[in-house]
């Protein structure tokens, strides 16, 4: 790790990161997934926002009539989410401070994991993924990102990265793939320039 990277890590705070996202729109992949639910989207459906971060997608789900469990390992994220939700929507929001290593999910019609699952340690990833897969109801969807092996952060032993073949293998057993886009390009992160190797995924759970 270079001195500059070390300084960036020392300067990083989750509160600053969440504030940097203030006012953003829900991510396009998330919006596409909601549209895939069609007329069923909203009332009576349950979602898990796994690694809810700044809460933009949690809030969008609540506004659309979903019941939401927002999970993040950072207490600051949960506090930030709760501060953004209007009082009349709070009865449909549950929150939990929880790590990927101890993940315990309810059944859900959608698990949304926006850029969060790669931050699971490799030794716990398979268990976490099986929990996600097994708790999505038939006809429900997994929506989110996995990081590829050419990502700038791929040498981080605390994170998990996948090849294209591995991603397809994870999905094929239980899901119908609606969107699978591989992004392999230079870009920016909150910490500065980086190479992104990312898989955008919308996958519909097959009937049992």
Start-end of H helices in 65-203: 75-84, 122-135, 164-172
Phi, psi for residue 121 in degrees, rounded to 5: -65, 140
Q: Which pLDDT score, from 0 to 100, does residue 2 have?
A: 31
Q: How many domains does the chain have?
A: 1
Identify which has the larger pLDDT, 15 or 29: 29
Q: What is the pLDDT of residues 194-205, one digit of tens each?
A: 999 999 999 999
Q: How many CA atoms lie within 13 A of 114 on its CB side?
A: 19
Q: What is the pTM of this model?
A: 0.90
pLDDT for 48-90, tens place per residue?
999 999 999 999 999 999 999 999 999 999 998 999 899 999 9
What's the confidence (pLDDT) of residue 11? 59
Task: Name the region of 53 (left: φ>0; alpha: ψ -120 to 50; beta: rest).
Answer: left
Band of pLDDT at residue 23, cut at 50, 70 and 90: confident
pLDDT at 3 over 70: no
Q: Containing domain of residue 53, as a range?
A: 3-22+30-205
CB-based contact 92:58 (threshold 8 Å): no
Q: How far apart are CA 153 and CA 8, in angstroms?
A: 14
115-155 pLDDT, tens digit each: 999 999 999 999 999 999 999 999 999 999 999 999 999 99
pLDDT at 206 over 70: yes
Instruction: Give the per-residue pLDDT at 188.
Output: 74
> 85 vs 1, which has greater pLDDT?
85
pLDDT in tens, 177-187: 999 999 999 98
Contact of 67 with 85, CB cutoff 8 Å: no
Residue 40, SS3? helix
Q: Are 30 and 143 in contact (CB under 8 A)?
A: yes
We report the CATH number of the domain holding residue 37 as 3.40.50.150
pLDDT attached to residue 151:
97
């Amino acid at each position: 790790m270079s001195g500059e990277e070390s300084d960036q890590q020392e300067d990083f705070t989750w509160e600053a990161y969440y504030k940097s996202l203030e006012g953003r729109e829900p991510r396009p992949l998330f919006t596409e997934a909601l549209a895939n639910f069609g007329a069923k989207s909203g009332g009576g459906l349950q979602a898990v926002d796994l690694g809810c971060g700044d809460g933009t997608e949690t809030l969008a789900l609540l506004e659309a009539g979903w019941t939401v469990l927002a999970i993040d390992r950072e207490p600051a994220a949960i506090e930030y989410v709760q501060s953004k939700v209007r009082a009349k929507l709070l009865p449909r929001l549950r929150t939990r401070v929880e790590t990927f290593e101890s993940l315990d999910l309810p059944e859900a019609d959608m698990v949304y994991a926006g850029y969060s699952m790669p931050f699971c340690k490799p030794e716990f990833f398979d268990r976490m993924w099986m929990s996600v897969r097994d708790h999505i109801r038939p006809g429900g969807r997994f929506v989110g990102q996995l990081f590829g092996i050419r990502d700038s952060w791929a040498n981080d032993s605390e994170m998990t990265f996948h090849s294209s073949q591995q991603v397809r293998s994870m999905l094929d057993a239980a899901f119908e793939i609606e969107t699978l886009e591989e992004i392999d390009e230079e870009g920016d992160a909150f910490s500065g320039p980086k190479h992104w190797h990312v898989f955008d995924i919308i996958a519909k759970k097959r009937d049992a």
